[in-house]
Amino acid sequence: MSDWVQELHSSIHTAEQLENHITLTPEERAGLENIEGTFNWGISPYYASLMDPDDPSCPVRRQVVPRIEEMHDELGVWDPLKEEDHSPVENLIHVYPDRVAFCISSICPTFCRFCLRKRMVETFGNSISEENLQEGYEYIRNTPAIRDVLLTGGDPLLMPDERIEEIVGKIHEIPHVQLVRIGSRSPCTLPSRITDELCERLARYQPFWINTHFNHPKELTPEAVAACGRIVDHGIPMGNQTVLLKGVNDSAAVLKELGERLVAARVRPYYLYQCQVLKGTAHFRVEVERGVQFMRELRGRTSGFAIPQYVLDTPYGKVPLNYQYMRKREGDHVVLETFSGKIWREPNPVCTPCKA
């Protein structure tokens, strides 16, 4: 059995096991007692080792240990993106004309408390049926507009190497598919999964991209950085998606350090997601205005490619949440605000053909 499979078999799934790692607070204990029949939970031994045993505000711990606040969310819904309405084939989400997200796995090494797909995420052992996969290939084959296929879940990388390679290969060989990518949190929550053998197999299907998911600099351990390095060394570019979470990364300083450490690990920050109005996440949500302010504090103060695009996902696609640096037109000038607040007037005459 490979190391990572062995590691998954000793994942933490009971309050008793968790108490071997941390001293539970009353909020966490009540969360664990009430979680049965609502949202799954589970933590890989590796990710559990990053939790601070004595500090309940530890950003790693907050992401994965159930808390009683999850039971108090009047606003949250199960499927805020109405993904099920946009699925021509079960588990295949088609929102944009040229690309689809295909959820090929319903398992994860570690269950994030704010998981968008928690309605479908199950315990170790479940993945997509062969019939569902075939329907997905068929839909992509019959839809020539699709040039980009994102394999997600759950975490597709929890499947056996051969199975992943088979699926990626089948999609890669569809003539109009220009690009296959995988979304996986394994580099962050189960870095032992990222073996050289897996990377070699995936690198056969270029262009191939991996987007991963780090939310806090504390997660960028030597093991995680090495896992990202193995992927990039095989010629697979990496992006990172972060979810903006209260008590985890809701400050410009944390986001700046995260972006810089990702870049140092050769991973490009891609999206910073506004936390969806998803059942059980009220205690994680940050106001959009604060998020925009964090982005404003990053711009100009760190490498441009250490800054992700802040977005809100909606049932109709992702919407950029941007600060408006372009203030107004003034005659033949456009009035801009720089990162440090200086006003700059750039000549911007209205072109003659447009006037006519």
Ligand X SMILES: *Cc1c(COP(=O)(O)O)cnc(C)c1O
Q: Interface residues with ligand X (CB under 6 A)?
A: 93, 95-96, 99-101, 150, 313, 318
Q: Contact 263/229 with Cβ under 8 angstroms?
A: no
* Residue nearer to ligand X on the CB measure, 99 or 296: 99
Closest residue by Cα to residue 110 from 121, 98, 94:
121
* Residue nearer to ligand X on the CB measure, 26 or 88: 88
Q: How far is the CB of 241 from ligand X (least distance, A)?
A: 9
Q: How far is the CB of 157 from ligand X (least distance, A)?
A: 18
Q: How far is the CB of 211 from ligand X (least distance, A)?
A: 8
Amino acid letter, 320: P
Q: Which residue has the tokens 């000549």?
A: 347
Q: How far is the CB of 233 from ligand X (least distance, A)?
A: 24
* Residue nearer to ligand X on the CB measure, 83 or 219: 83
As to burial, measured by CB atoms within 10 angstroms (0-12 exposed, 13-18 middle, 19+ buried), residue 191 is buried
* Residue nearer to ligand X on the CB measure, 21 or 318: 318
CA 216 – CA 61 distance, rounded (Å): 11
Q: Contact 54/15 with Cβ under 8 angstroms?
A: no
* Residue nearer to ligand X on the CB measure, 150 or 255: 150
Q: How far is the CB of 132 from ligand X (least distance, A)?
A: 17
Q: How far is the CB of 239 from ligand X (least distance, A)?
A: 8
* Residue nearer to ligand X on the CB measure, 5 or 77: 77
- Strand positions, DSSP E, the chain: 92-96, 99-103, 148-152, 179-183, 208-212, 238-244, 268-274, 309-314, 317-320, 326-330, 333-337, 343-347
